[in-house]
Amino acid sequence: MTGPREQSVSNTTPTSDGRSASGLEHAARSTVAVIVNYNGADILPACVESLVVLNIPGLTVLVVDNASIDDVRSYLPAHKSVELLQLPENTGFAGGARAGVDHALRDPEVAAIAVLNNDLGFDHGIKELLVGVSQNRWPPGLYAPALVNQDGSIQNMGEVWSRWTGIVTTSRSPTGTPGEDGVCWIGRNQFLCGAAIVGSPSVFRRVNFDPQLFLLSEDLDLCMQAHAAGIPMGVAVNCKVVHGGSVTFRKNAGVFAYYHWRNGPLMTARYGSSAEFWVRLAVLPVQLIHHVLAALHNRDFPSLFACLRGAWIGTRLAFACRFDNARRESLHPADPS
């Protein structure tokens, strides 16, 4: 067994001649599984091992490390199919995913790209999904597995977003009738959970993760891009993946609160109608008061201040995004965190 091939970078992509920043050329492969990691010593090893042992043909596991302080090299499983891409700073899940996807797109041999959380557990269902995408069994699009809890109960089969209120509802059953191919296609107000998304390089060249979002809403944003581009999306209901349930947010509720309130209004500013945008802003204070009262009741002051700051910055950015045409397609927030 050899150790992971390490590629420390000062930017998010390899050099223009196709070599990685460390000078190693990519080996021919058909699938790249991008796993975004930040201080994941307690979860990443099991995630990587559960993927490697499936012996998926042509698989490379690309671990994108967001400048972890727990020395990812000390706990990353040593295997010839595992590569390490170390970023110089923490770019959040959105930035790490974008770096990994961009890195994979530089390899002409890649036929499928998966973007994965580091708290997942895999079985042969994911193998079928990755091979299916790489062999073009379905139309070029974005696909997600059904996420399940440790006990096997369904956790997520897609999500529904209200442009009017920003509320996201998780579907725990197929949102339609799966076809013979086992895929349940999603509609305009639905999106795939970002814990595991698979697509072909041709799709990721048309839509990609927005690093400016950092955390939260990056999956919604990606899927709204896909809807606008006419790219089909679906949940492979027979492919089940165990999801730990966003360990990062359970460890730090303040992080969740900040990015929830910062990015939420931006999504309606980007993808909602004028009426939806104004209603979204009108209901925002009511939602915020509810959260503030809950935080005060629980004496969760970090979450309280994080949500207030996030809502203030998010509202300003939403107005800038909505009314400044130069910003409609690309966000440029000065993140204070």
> Which residues lie across from 113 on neighbouring strands?
32, 199
Q: Residue 336: pLDDT above 90? A: no
Question: What is the per-residue pLDDT for 4?
Answer: 55
Q: Residue 258: pLDDT above 80? A: yes
Question: What is the per-residue pLDDT for 29?
Answer: 53
Residues 128-132: contacts with CB within 8 Å, 24+ apart? 128/236, 128/238, 128/239, 129/198, 129/236, 129/239, 130/31, 130/33, 130/56, 130/59, 130/198, 131/31, 131/56, 131/57, 132/236
Q: In which region does residue 9 sit, left (phi positive, over 0), alpha (psi from -120 to 50) or beta (all else)?
A: beta
Label residues 235-264 b or e (16+ Cβ within 10 Å = b). Answer: bbbebbbbbbebbbbeeebbbbbbbbbbbb
Q: Band of the pLDDT at 335, cuts 50, 70, 90?
A: very low
> Which residues lie across from 196 on neighbouring strands?
116
Residue-wise pLDDT tens digits, 262-273: 999 999 999 999
> What fold, for 5-245?
Spore Coat Polysaccharide Biosynthesis Protein SpsA; Chain A (3.90.550)
CA distance linking residue 12 with residue 159, whole number of Å: 29
Strands 168-170 and 159-161: antiparallel
CA distance linking residue 97 with residue 165, whole number of Å: 27
Residues 196-202 have a mean pLDDT of 96
Question: What is the per-residue pLDDT for 5?
Answer: 55
Question: What is the per-residue pLDDT for 7?
Answer: 56
Phi first, then psi: what are they for 304, rounded to 5°? Answer: -60, -55
What are the extents of the domains in the chain? Answer: 5-245, 252-327
Q: Residue 69: pLDDT above 80? A: yes
Query: What's the token pair of residue 120?
Result: 């997942």
CA distance linking residue 9 with residue 21, whole number of Å: 6
Residue-wise pLDDT tens digits, 4-63: 555 544 343 333 333 333 333 333 358 999 999 999 999 999 999 999 999 998 999 999
Question: What is the per-residue pLDDT for 328?
Answer: 47
Instruction: Determine whether 218 is exposed, middle or buried from the number of CB atoms within 10 Å of its CB (0-12, 13-18, 19+).
Output: buried
CA distance linking residue 97 with residue 86, whole number of Å: 12
Phi first, then psi: what are they for 271, rounded to 5°? Answer: -120, -5
pTM: 0.86
Which residue, among 319, 227, 217, 309, has the nearest Cα to 263 in the 3D structure?
217
Residues 139-168 have a mean pLDDT of 93
Q: Residue 1: pLDDT above 80? A: no
